[in-house]
Structure 1
């Protein structure tokens, strides 16, 4: 399980860095200059100026990562052993292949719907923040 977690972190961290770097480069430097004139050092500028501005972007990146990890199949298939540590897509795959008389598609699709319900509920409650983070910095001028 630790190897699986490290693999997921290593492969997904680049997305967060890519999104955050693009946003930070688009930030005007006047915020940082104003904080520096007020006497803030680099860490104070980061914690009190840049990080609060990054909140919508980091939230959006977190949502994208949760969806990506939730739907992960191949790393789980190769790195997790046994059914007690199986992720939802891997458990669904094992369930679909466990039939002796063929795949019972009605049960498979019922499981697909049930495994996507938690993400759908989370999106319904958090959609405003996701859309705000995606459109942050999209307006120029």
Structure 2
């Protein structure tokens, strides 16, 4: 888990840093005038503004980890720890009489259903996070 998180976390840091750079300094100055400390400014002002960006980054990371093939192939040993893409690969490559494509594509659809269901439930937050910086004024 640490290897996958370490290699994928850069995307979320990149998104969050880009968003924080666009925030006006006036927000922080106004909070300092009101008597807020650094941690209070972060917790009560910046973190709520970052919520859509962090949500979008989390969804991107979940999809990336869900579809990961090479890390799982090299790091997970044994079929009892195999991920869904690995089982699909093993299923498609294990046939000796040719690949039964109808079963392979049924497996692809079944492995995609959990992600599609989660996206269907959470799509408002994803679209809000993607378009957060697109509105000016």
Give the TM-score normalised by the residue count of structure 1: 0.94
Structure 1 runs (4+) greater than 2 angstroms displaced = none
What is the deviation of 1:93?
0.5
Aligned-CA RMSD value: 0.8
Give the gaps of 5 or more residues in structure 1: none
Give the corresponding residue for 2:58: 62
1:27 lines up with 2:23 in the alignment: yes
1:92 lines up with 2:92 in the alignment: no
Give the corresponding residue for 1:116: 112
Give the corresponding residue for 2:34: 38
In structure 1, distance between residues paired with 2:38 and 2:3 = 32
In structure 2, distance between residues paired with 1:55 and 1:84 = 36
Give the gaps of 5 or more residues in structure 2: none
What is the deviation of 1:118?
0.7
Q: How many residues align?
A: 137
Bigger helix fraction: 2
In structure 2, distance between residues paired with 1:120 and 1:29 = 39
Give the corresponding residue for 1:77: 73
Give the corresponding residue for 2:8: 12
What is the deviation of 1:140?
2.2
Give the TM-score normalised by the residue count of structure 2: 0.97
1:101 lines up with 2:97 in the alignment: yes
